[in-house]
Chain A
Amino acid sequence: GQQLNQSPQSMFIQEGEDVSMNCTSSSIFNTWLWYKQEPGEGPVLLIALYKAGELTSNGRLTAQFGITRKDSFLNISASIPSDVGIYFCAGWGYNQGGKLIFGQGTELSVKP
């Protein structure tokens, strides 16, 4: 089946640093989504991208929908301890029906 390759798998950074993670696919998606999962919680939507080339921000988070429709990145600026969690990218395509395809997740640790 379709797969999303998400990298890096984990990151250990100092508070205040910027973070970047990305997802690539061999297939085209029509929607890219970025979720965050905190311990004991379910994934929560951070940013949704609907058009190729779209660049969207949500506070300190910025995400882009790649021009080729096969990739997306998420940047977090000036990280803080509460940014800790697992970040997942997810893609949806018209030929996917109702399902989202998720990446493997990027586990972020922030040292105060």
Chain B
Amino acid sequence: EAGVTQFPSHSVIEKGQTVTLRCDPISGHDNLYWYRRVMGKEIKFLLHFVKESKQDESGMPNNRFLAERTGGTYSTLKVQPAELEDSGVYFCASSQGAAGGNTIYFGEGSWLTVV
């Protein structure tokens, strides 16, 4: 069974450009999460989808970040326009039920560098 897959694995873009990160959750997982880790800091929650609906987007930093999950399958996270402080690793994760009692599986991350 395929795990959570993310694309691209690495991206280097200039300040002001746009980047779109993609996540394919484990098949059958209704819950999809985006997290981010800035160098040396904690892994921070960005948002949570249940199927195609945004359950909680309280962690989204600002309106330069837009997440979608069309059809409740894969998800995209777009950063437009990118700023230097957006650099970090963006993790996608999925679970069958909600967090807490269910195992959350993480992807390998999309490493974003904004220069």
Point out residues on A near B: beta carbons under 8 Å: 3-4, 6, 30-31, 35, 40-45, 48, 50, 88, 90, 92-94, 96-105
Q: Which of B12-20, B70-78, B80-88, B98-106 contacts A (4 or more CB under 8 A)?
A: B98-106
A-B pairs, top 10 by smallest CB distance, nearest first, are: A42-B106, A102-B43, A98-B48, A99-B45, A92-B100, A104-B42, A102-B42, A42-B108, A43-B106, A98-B98
- Contact check, B99 vs A98: say whether CB atoms are below 8 A apart: yes
* Chain B residues within 8 Å of A, Cβ to Cβ: 4, 31, 33, 35, 40-45, 48, 50, 55-56, 58-59, 91, 93, 98-101, 103-109
Contact in complex: B107, A94 (CB < 8 Å):
no
Contact check, B100 vs A31: say whether CB atoms are below 8 A apart: yes
Q: A31-B100, A42-B106, A42-B108 are in contact. List 7 more A-B contacts (CB 8 A).
A: A43-B91, A90-B43, A97-B48, A98-B98, A99-B59, A103-B42, A104-B42
Contact A45 B104 (CB under 8 A): yes
In whole angstroms, how far apart are the Cα atoms of A90 and B104 in the complex?
11
Are B45 and A41 in contact (CB-based, < 8 A)? Answer: no
Q: Are B98 and A88 in contact (CB under 8 A)?
A: no
Residues of chain A with a CB closer than 8 A to B93's CB = 42
Residue of B nearest to A92 (CB): B100
Q: Which of B42, B101, B106, B108 contacts A50 (CB 8 A)?
A: B101
Option from B41, B43, B104, B108 in Cβ contact (under 8 Å) with A41: B108
B residues near A97, Cβ cutoff 8 Å: 48, 55-56, 98
Task: Name the CB-closest residue of B to A99.
Answer: B45
Per the bound structure, the CA–CA distance linking A99 and B109 in Å amounts to: 17
Complex: A91 Cα to B31 Cα, angstroms = 17
Q: Cβ of A100 and Cβ of B101 under 8 Å apart?
A: no
For B31, what are the chain A residues with a Cβ–Cβ distance below 8 Å? 98
Question: A98 is contacted by which of B43, B50, B106 (Cβ under 8 Å)?
Answer: B50
